[in-house]
Structure 1
Amino acid sequence: MCNLNKLYIAQTVHYYGWQSYHKMNMEHNIGSMDRTTRILFGAVTGLLSLAILASVISLPTVVSPLLGVVSFIMMGTSVTGFCPLYTLLGVDTCSASPQ
């Protein structure tokens, strides 16, 4: 996937119509190891968030939505292969991935 170096995003038909997908693209900047780490971290934080809501873990309830947001961000960036913060910092772990 990193060889393509672009991720084509499906556009919403209602808003954009049937425009071609190549008009919206982002370059990948998350490699396979980084992606796997983000998926695992996102899953763990999501489960912790749910455990706090179910009162399995006794932490303040305010922590649950924060962990939920972190989980959502980690899972979202791993699915898309693009991290906006990495772009701002100039980091690219995609090229560091083993082929």
Structure 2
Amino acid sequence: MFRQNVGPIDRGIRAILGIVLLIATFVLLSGFWQALIGLVAVILLITAIFGVCPLYSALGIDTTPTRPAAKH
């Protein structure tokens, strides 16, 4: 459906940040902030798992490594 546009370093950062925010959601926050930060954490984790970020697609950003052209 979508082409991957999130590179491995970007995916790792998203995964770590998503886990940290998810933990903070349940331990430190409550009410509106808990819902908001929890939603952000889930979005970060989903984009890290699948390697696709719709916002990156809309902005034309791609952090996947480029492969050098094959020499003939």
| Range class of TM-score, shorter chain | 0.7 to 0.9
* Structure 2 residue identity aligned to 1:71: A
The 3-state SS of whatever aligns with 2:65 is coil
TM-score, normalised to structure 1's length?
Answer: 0.62
Offset from partner CA, 1:39-88 (integer Å, 9 cap, x none): 00100110010013xxxxxx552211111000100000011100000001
d(CA) in 2 for partners of 1:93, 1:31? 5
Structure having greater relative contact order (Cα 8 Å, sep ≥ 6):
2
TM-score, normalised to structure 2's length?
Answer: 0.84
Structure 1, unaligned runs of 5 or more: 1-24, 53-58
- RMSD of Structure 2 on Structure 1 (CA): 1.4
Identical-residue share of aligned pairs (%): 33
Structure 2, unaligned runs of 5 or more: 67-72
Equivalent residues, number: 66
